[in-house]
Chains A and B, each alone.
Chain A
């Protein structure tokens, strides 16, 4: 990857679910350490764009390049390995495995990457501490509030020290106070670890935490605008 090349770039992505087009020529670039907010109304295709970027969904046409490597031709196994080692995820609902404790949830990506249980959980505790929820380590997701759960999810997304964190409406189920807190912690933690963040949201208040905004409408990306981070 050359110095000028973006960390992650998608070009002319097309994706349809049955007869309904979700993406219709969307393109985006994300630089290392950058926080990019993908905005748009409900059903505009922003989540699908995020899924294509993360290698969760294969586009029907177009290209996705990560550190110079084309992802559309990768096998499922290669994409899974990439997601385990290089990417982190935060979703709006249900992102924590309900049967695992919070510390086990955070340790999960590390363990999947081959780290021993003890070391994985040690690091997971450190991340919980950084996200100010260390006291939740032994609790299960059913025993914590929505805001606390999202902070645990952010810790899990960052625990494996990914280069890119994908966050799909991470504050969508939270009140504004909790939402602000989660975004502050996500941004700070990502910045400290040097991870880029692709943030899908339809709330300008949340998008304000990003460095740049990309608007998706009817499956197409529109001109981007610089956004000042709140922090």
Chain B
């Protein structure tokens, strides 16, 4: 045992005292391990980050369904949602009114705001103070009485507010104002829907595997120089087992250094996490903490993995005591186990390919294992594919020959590095394919913001709510055209119908109406079984007969100014002018206005929101157009892109270090090539081919595996299978760009390598 320790310690000493070269290698390995460890620790913190976020959003949960409706009491609170957007950010707002002294206080507040008092999140306070927030200030102009604490926020960058109001009333036929007696529901939280959970699992797997590949690659840096050192030890009497343990000691030093450095990087990332909003995501530093088990697994697993990789690399090397290190004839790579890995993944995924995503979401572990195995399979298959492919390559110019022969001699190193890109691309292709498939359900609109729809509730005579809304919006800056209607729900036997009420000018936007006067009614017969003379029961209970002289009309088709807006494009089956319902007592109803926005709509939409808020704080405003995603979906996309950037940086750095290392180790043959007149450009091209061939093979394999995985995931969530060619092309171009950049970055070192100093034998 003590001999083992001695030999490990000797390895550690050799790592420290091997001169600048050895220290550089230890540093590079440590850096690689550190980056991997830092990412792994961040990944290991994700469950805590998500559960802390869930806990906080669950604790402020304010929806309660009771039957019969809860009565006002000393412990009840009236609450109204005023969820809004400012620019591209969501703003969460709540109006509150206590009905008694024991009314619940939302998390993050020390007391309920009094009428007119505003409590805001720190991020919203900063925005309101800034010039950028000027348009938002118009609708949040009340004095700020306090700040919402962290426990009441999803993240530090969340824009949220609470305001006291003494106008809130619960209306029998409206859900706008609710009565609650507590905040929070056990087990509740924003959560992620099943489709998004499936995607999140894939994102995690697609990000972590390249990191694992990178750690494995980093542990092999400097392998040949180390082998020469071990050969010298063999000359001094060390046997093969001892040399392995000494090598393990060297690897341990680098891995432990990397572990420490990685932990430091993680602590720095954690410290700045609260200040950084990466692609709109923000977390509290306190939430970025790995669970003890996962942290221990990283702390033990990474050094162990580095040692195992070192020992595995030594298996292919015969270390000769005379100082010559000869690579044993490389063992032929076996395909059976490499193929078995992704096949096992497929076997795990197959049972989940059914249903609407619930099966997959209910079996997250199986899904994660399946996805990981398919992606690991890509990494495992790639060295075999590269080896098999390069052995069939021949012909070509000198640079091509140098590259292919080099790959034939040892394709493993290149394939290992490229495995990282391949896994990342396979994961990204799978995700892009899945994203594009489910996009329909999560993407709203497209193009620039052209139209805004405003929903509010109002009462009074028929048409009054729509007129009031239209009048308010017409005065808004940037509103070009406004059309407003009212919806009155109607029942016809077992079917629910809608009667649209508006003036003639607005009704003409919906249908081909030639003659129209107040009191007229029209039926879009193509949409309904209702006909002139049909009887319906209107919302609120009043009966109404569609006048027998109502005319049957058809919808407009083709592009019109407010085509996308709800007030002009949603075709309701019965459309009536206000006079047609005069005398009928109608309850509170929904008024909808569509507003054509001026310019790109960016400022106009904010003016429309301000105008709507002036007449109804709880009005809902939605911009049509302007690519806007459901927030969870958008967050996943952002996480994917952020992760892809990080992975590409890691893999690019790994490829670069590997290429530089290879240049250093091949200094003499390259200098000789230059000496007898090989143009540097030919050698540079050979380096380019050497990187490009495995990358091209890796990308092909990755695209095939990724598309297959994406198709399987789409089937799991019940979406039609499609293939996003543009994103695949984009990813392939990114891979090519990495190859070019890495090759370009090695050129200065190549020029130095080709200098005649490399020829000196003394």
Contacts of B673 in A (CB 8 A): 97, 108
Minimum CB distance partner of B409 in chain A: A99
Is the CB–CB distance between A85 and B401 below 8 Å?
A: no
With contacts A84-B676, A92-B761 known, is A112 near B326, CB below 8 A?
A: no
Is the CB–CB distance between A47 and B760 below 8 Å?
A: yes
Is the CB–CB distance between B759 and A51 below 8 Å?
A: yes
Q: How far, in angstroms, from A3 to B739 measured CA to CA in the complex?
A: 54
Contacts of B674 in A (CB 8 A): 56, 80
Is the CB–CB distance between B409 and A98 below 8 Å?
A: yes
Is the CB–CB distance between B677 and A81 below 8 Å?
A: yes
Q: Is A161 interfacial (CB-CB < 8 Å)?
A: no
B398's contact among A42, A57, A108, by CB below 8 Å, is which? A108
Q: How far, in angstroms, from A101 to B405 measured CA to CA in the complex?
A: 8
Residues B658-689 near A (CB distance < 8 A): 666, 668-669, 672-679, 682
Minimum CB distance partner of B670 in chain A: A97
Contacts of A104 in B (CB 8 A): 401, 405
Is the CB–CB distance between A93 and B761 below 8 Å?
A: yes
* CB of B695, distance to nearest CB on chain A (Å): 19
Q: How far, in angstroms, from A169 to B762 measured CA to CA in the complex?
A: 11
Q: How far, in angstroms, from A157 to B677 measured CA to CA in the complex?
A: 12
Q: How far, in angstroms, from A37 to B327 measured CA to CA in the complex?
A: 36
Q: Is the interface of B mostly helix, strand, loop or mixed?
A: helix
Is the CB–CB distance between A89 and B672 below 8 Å?
A: yes
* CB of B675, distance to nearest CB on chain A (Å): 5
Contacts of B541 in A (CB 8 A): none
Q: Is A43 interfacial (CB-CB < 8 Å)?
A: yes
Residues A66-88 near B (CB distance < 8 A): 77, 80-85, 87-88
Q: Is B408 interfacial (CB-CB < 8 Å)?
A: yes
Q: How far, in angstroms, from A56 to B668 measured CA to CA in the complex?
A: 14
Q: Is A140 interfacial (CB-CB < 8 Å)?
A: yes
Is the CB–CB distance between B668 and A93 below 8 Å?
A: yes
With contacts A84-B676, A112-B682 known, is A91 near B759, CB below 8 A?
A: yes
Contacts of A47 in B (CB 8 A): 759-762
* CB of B674, distance to nearest CB on chain A (Å): 8
Residues B706-762 near A (CB distance < 8 A): 756, 759-762
Q: Which of B398, B406, B668 has the most CB of A within 10 A?
A: B398
Is the CB–CB distance between B402 and A43 below 8 Å?
A: no
B759's contact among A56, A140, A142, by CB below 8 Å, is which? A56
Is the CB–CB distance between A94 and B668 below 8 Å?
A: yes
Q: How far, in angstroms, from A1 to B578 measured CA to CA in the complex?
A: 111
Minimum CB distance partner of A50 in chain B: B759
Is the CB–CB distance between B759 and A168 below 8 Å?
A: yes
Is the CB–CB distance between A43 and B762 below 8 Å?
A: yes
Is the CB–CB distance between B675 and A89 below 8 Å?
A: yes
Q: How far, in angstroms, from A84 to B674 measured CA to CA in the complex?
A: 10
* CB of A112, distance to nearest CB on chain B (Å): 6
* CB of B146, distance to nearest CB on chain A (Å): 70
Q: How far, in angstroms, from A91 to B408 measured CA to CA in the complex?
A: 25
Q: Is A54 interfacial (CB-CB < 8 Å)?
A: yes
Q: Mark B319-332, 1 if CB is under 8 A from A, else 0.
A: 00000001100000
Is the CB–CB distance between A89 and B408 below 8 Å?
A: no
Q: Is B175 interfacial (CB-CB < 8 Å)?
A: no
Q: Is A111 interfacial (CB-CB < 8 Å)?
A: yes
Is the CB–CB distance between B756 and A94 below 8 Å?
A: no
Is the CB–CB distance between B409 and A83 below 8 Å?
A: no
* CB of A54, distance to nearest CB on chain B (Å): 7
With contacts A56-B756, A80-B678, A169-B761 known, is A95 near B672, CB below 8 A?
A: yes
Contacts of A96 in B (CB 8 A): 669
Contacts of A168 in B (CB 8 A): 759, 761
Is the CB–CB distance between B756 and A57 below 8 Å?
A: yes
Minimum CB distance partner of A113 in chain B: B677
Q: Is A185 interfacial (CB-CB < 8 Å)?
A: no
Q: Is B395 interfacial (CB-CB < 8 Å)?
A: yes
* CB of A53, distance to nearest CB on chain B (Å): 12
Q: How far, in angstroms, from A59 to B760 measured CA to CA in the complex?
A: 16
* CB of B615, distance to nearest CB on chain A (Å): 78
Q: How far, in angstroms, from A156 to B677 measured CA to CA in the complex?
A: 13
* CB of A172, distance to nearest CB on chain B (Å): 7
Is the CB–CB distance between A99 and B402 below 8 Å?
A: yes
* CB of B220, distance to nearest CB on chain A (Å): 19
Contacts of A85 in B (CB 8 A): 677
Is the CB–CB distance between A94 and B675 below 8 Å?
A: no
Contacts of B668 in A (CB 8 A): 93-95
Is the CB–CB distance between B761 and A112 below 8 Å?
A: no
* CB of B523, distance to nearest CB on chain A (Å): 82
Q: Mark A142-159, 1 if CB is under 8 A from B, else 0.
A: 100000000000001100
Q: How far, in angstroms, from A109 to B675 measured CA to CA in the complex?
A: 11
Q: How far, in angstroms, from A68 to B558 measured CA to CA in the complex?
A: 85
Q: Mark B405-424, 1 if CB is under 8 A from A, else 0.
A: 11011000000000000000
Is the CB–CB distance between B759 and A111 below 8 Å?
A: no
Is the CB–CB distance between A91 and B756 below 8 Å?
A: no
* CB of A150, distance to nearest CB on chain B (Å): 13
Is the CB–CB distance between A99 and B675 below 8 Å?
A: no
Contacts of B326 in A (CB 8 A): 142
* CB of A201, distance to nearest CB on chain B (Å): 12
Contacts of A169 in B (CB 8 A): 761
* CB of A159, distance to nearest CB on chain B (Å): 10
Is the CB–CB distance between B406 and A99 below 8 Å?
A: yes
Q: Is A100 interfacial (CB-CB < 8 Å)?
A: yes
Q: How far, in angstroms, from A142 to B679 measured CA to CA in the complex?
A: 25
Q: Is A117 interfacial (CB-CB < 8 Å)?
A: yes
Q: How far, in angstroms, from A89 to B758 measured CA to CA in the complex?
A: 14
Is the CB–CB distance between B398 and A112 below 8 Å?
A: yes
Q: How far, in angstroms, from A57 to B757 measured CA to CA in the complex?
A: 9
Q: How far, in angstroms, from A108 to B672 measured CA to CA in the complex?
A: 12
Q: Which of B397, B674, B677, B760 has the most CB of A within 10 A?
A: B677
Q: Which of A84, A92, A100 has the most CB of B within 10 A?
A: A100
Minimum CB distance partner of B759 in chain A: A91
Minimum CB distance partner of B408 in chain A: A99
Minimum CB distance partner of B690 in chain A: A99
Contacts of A99 in B (CB 8 A): 402, 405-406, 408-409
* CB of A109, distance to nearest CB on chain B (Å): 6
Contacts of B761 in A (CB 8 A): 47, 91-93, 168-169, 172
Residues A47-66 near B (CB distance < 8 A): 47, 51, 54, 56-57
Q: Which of B398, B406, B676 has the most CB of A within 10 A?
A: B676
Q: Which residues of A contact B (CB under 8 A)?
A: 42-43, 47, 51, 54, 56-57, 77, 80-85, 87-89, 91-101, 104, 108-109, 111-112, 117, 140, 142, 156-157, 168-169, 172
Report 14 cross-chain contacts, Cβ distance below 8 Å, ordered by A residue. A47-B761, A56-B674, A56-B759, A77-B679, A84-B677, A97-B405, A97-B669, A97-B673, A108-B676, A111-B398, A112-B676, A112-B679, A117-B395, A142-B327
Besides A94-B669, A97-B405, A140-B409, 7 more A-B contacts (Cβ < 8 Å) are A83-B677, A92-B761, A98-B666, A99-B402, A99-B405, A99-B409, A108-B673
